[in-house]
Chain A
């Protein structure tokens, strides 16, 4: 079965609203990564987060390994935040990354 599930699959918000993206996993992991994929296709690393909470500007990543979930919070969204957000988990003791299917975020002006 699917080891990593991202939700929602798509999200449409008005500019200024906050976005909450979820990544749930069914297996033990060493770390979690979050990526942003631009509409043109390139991928940018947002967070490398083994556990706990990390901040970067308007972005916050929280990973709770015991609860098998990670979230990405975007505050005061902007139209330039539109794109696809991918999570990837490093399987415990396997040195392998598994990617989620992504959340497509659209921010309307």
Chain B
């Protein structure tokens, strides 16, 4: 069974603080993605990666950085968290670009 795990599952951060969301996959997939879900906006792509040590900007990259230290791990970094970044974040992996996606459980981030 394909597996994508995220941590933490829930986090409360203060405005201006640094937040790191981590994602680990055991699918042996090359592609990994970070999506953000907000009510009324559906799922929007923040960053993605198709190879270790390289990341690409998605549709809404401002205010976020990403890191792919290995094929299995992909992190989303908020250097200066803001109220507007309160959302649920999903990590996903796929075998090919825009291929069948396998999602993690989601990470609920609340910025106060």
Query: Using a CB–CB distance below 8 Å, which chain A residues touch chain B?
Result: 30-31, 33, 35, 41-45, 48, 86, 88, 90-91, 94-97, 99-102
Known: A43-B90, A97-B45, A102-B42. A88 touches B97 (CB 8 A): no
Known: A41-B88, A43-B90. A100 touches B98 (CB 8 A): no
Q: Chain B contacts of A33 at CB under 8 A?
A: 100-101
A92 to B75, CA, bound (A): 28
CA–CA, A95 and B88, complex, Å: 24
Judging by beta carbons under 8 Å apart, are B101 and A45 in contact?
Answer: yes
**Interface set, chain B 86-112, CB cutoff 8 A to A:** 88, 90, 92, 97-106, 108
Q: Which residues of B contact A (CB under 8 A)?
A: 40, 42-45, 88, 90, 92, 97-106, 108
Bound CA span A74–B62, Å: 39
**B42→A101 contact, CB < 8 A:** yes
CB < 8 Å A-B pair total: 47
A41–B91 CA distance with the chains assembled, in angstroms: 13
Bound Cα distance A44, B42 (Å): 15
The answer on a CB contact under 8 Å between B43 and A86 is yes
- Give the distance to chain B from A7, nearest Cβ to Cβ, in Å: 14
Which residues in A have their C-beta under 8 angstroms from that of B103?
Answer: 35, 42-45
* Nearest CB in chain A to that of B96: its residue: A95
Candidates B44, B102, B108; contact of A45 at CB < 8 Å: B102
